[in-house]
Chains A and B, each alone.
Chain A
Amino acid sequence: MLIMGEVRTGLLQNSAEIEERDHQAVLGLLAGERVRMSRRPIVYAVSPDLLTGVDCRLPSASRARIRGVGTVVSRSSITGGRVLQGSSYVRVTRGEVNYRLPWSHYLARPGVVEVLGKVSGPDVADGFLAFGAPGEHLDLGSVSDRFMDVVQESPVLDLRAPFRSNRTRLRWVAETGEPGVHFTLGEGQERTLKVTHQGEFSPAVVDLCEDLALHDWLLTTLLTIVQRARIGGASRPEVSARLAPAVDTLLHLWMPGARIHPSLAALWESLERTPGFSRQWQSLVERIRDQLAVNTLALLRETNG
């Protein structure tokens, strides 16, 4: 009926990129399951799927009291040994009965939240995308956060990240229909995404949302670093020093659509037209490169003086 999820994205708390061999220790959240990894075009590793039981009210634009019971699917992933994501989603369906069944019933349907009683999909979707007060309803973002936290707690990490950064929150809903995407940048760290795709829902849609969240985070983080560098306001060496972590850590991570299923590639492309992620990224990168080049030149001139 309705599929909705939230991806949280942040910086892995380590001074350097983590090594390929460390991914198993960091993302191995389930005994007996290996972390899946792909190396091209960028190292990407993802934990096994994990379930969390919930029994609570679902968000609703009309403030209807909707009770849902079931499980949330979550996973953690690391891109480029640097960027950490926690991602959770549920499939909301109408339950067959109006009372709560034994738990084994829900466990037999992983990732499904059954509504006890009447429910309207669009109402829940709109309520979800509105980012209501935290803690009142099903809180997919906090579940994702928890799966980031367990990774950050890993003893493998030294907790000396090259810079401070915020976690972004991207909420998405997916439904079947004429293919399209609609991305909005909300207040602070909040973003929403509406995806319509052809045919049945598949986890490839989740990959798309995670990839978009990743690139939105890269862009947001780079923008903050550039703003805070006070180009033109601070001294040249100061500006260079403030831009350095961005250059070392982030610039090579931009690979939009790298892990997207071909059937969804068109959706990424439409996002490249509006809002035009890569365009903005490119212009930021050029600005940084120019700045560093100018600063280096100035430095050379001074030393040759």
Chain B
Amino acid sequence: MTSFSEVTAERQIKSGPLSHVSVELGHLYMEDFQAGPDRLRRQFAAVAPWLETVRRSWQSRTPGGRARISTCFLIDDYFSRFSTPSELVPMILTAAAENDLVIDYLARESACAEADGVKLAKLVEDRLVPDPPPGTRGWRPPTHETGWLANGTRSPVAGSGQAMKTAVRWEAPTQNAKRGHSIFVDVELWNDDSRGRTWSCPFLAAVWQLLRLGLLRNEGQLPVQPVAVDGGFPTSWDNLPPVVKLNSSATPFSAYTTLSVLSTRFLQVELAVRTILSQVSVDEEVLKQVLSRSSDEDLRLEEELVDRISYVFL
């Protein structure tokens, strides 16, 4: 466009390096920590063979077996804070090493809300395009403004309505893309109170997936660069970089695909995560970059985002 040649911000979208797969070796919440280091050791022991399987499967798919696999581990410092990085991180690393696992990257959950001054959760919130129930003509404001996101039509609410009109009767909720019967999912994305907004665990987990897929940009820039920590881990979570690079020879943090090895207690959360992710519209330019990179490597990526995410539940 002629007139846009002088446009202040002709869009420039940075592209970042990508591994083939980002494997999440676990999530650590307060209750895991309280259960003691044994629980962590057992978790890692269970994860190790799966990581090996993933490695072999990707090696067979890549020329020369040069599969780029990065591993990561997430610690909750958003919903509850416990211990300190200087105490906790070495404990995690030891437990992993005992099982011959290398953790390449360590991330703080609060980084998914905000990292290095960038409000990542807000970036994702603004990119939600809710799954429209049949009859949606586009003029109603999106339903997720209420802080809830569903995969279908909710039951009608009784109570309002006009005087002397037939009262609203109960109807079943329905899934928009149902085949026969519905599996209706309604996810709380956040709640607001006097202290401000608290993002829900599934919402932050959705941000986490998008980060690992390298699909987020802030004003064209890649948010959250993994940083190495020299000279020991800090004594406060706030002083720990959002994503720490623990292994100097690790392949890139973000990847074409993700695999999360999780306890089955995360099943519901991950169903919610997929409900959210299937309603996030990622920037077209970013998607194109990733596609062209992958096709340069002779790799066929799934077209839909949720199909690039997989799990092992233990």
Contact = CB atoms under 8 A, between A and B. Distances in A.
A30 to B, nearest CB: 5
A56 B279 contact: no
B39 interface: no
Given A102-B278, A107-B129, A259-B3, A135 B8 contact: no
A104 B137 contact: no
Contacts of A136: 137
A38 B7 contact: yes
Nearest to A57: B137
B131 A143 contact: no
Tell me if B's interface is mostly helix, strand, loop or mixed.
loop
A103 B280 CA distance: 10
A148 to B, nearest CB: 12
Contacts of B141: 146
A63 interface: no
Interface of B: 1-4, 6-11, 118-119, 122-123, 125-127, 129-139, 141-142, 151, 176-177, 179, 216-219, 277-281, 284, 303-307
A38 B284 contact: no
A123 interface: no
Given A38-B3, A103-B176, A142 B306 contact: no
Contacts of A204: 1
Contact of A39 (B1, B6, B132): B6
A61 B142 CA distance: 29
Contacts of A102: 177, 278, 304
Interface residues of A, number: 50
A195 interface: no
A149 to B, nearest CB: 9
B136 A51 contact: no
A32 B126 contact: yes
Given A135-B139, A142-B139, A55 B4 contact: no
A151 interface: no
Contacts of B131: 53, 103
Most chain B beta-carbon neighbours within 10 Å: one of A32, A100, A207: A32
A260 to B, nearest CB: 9
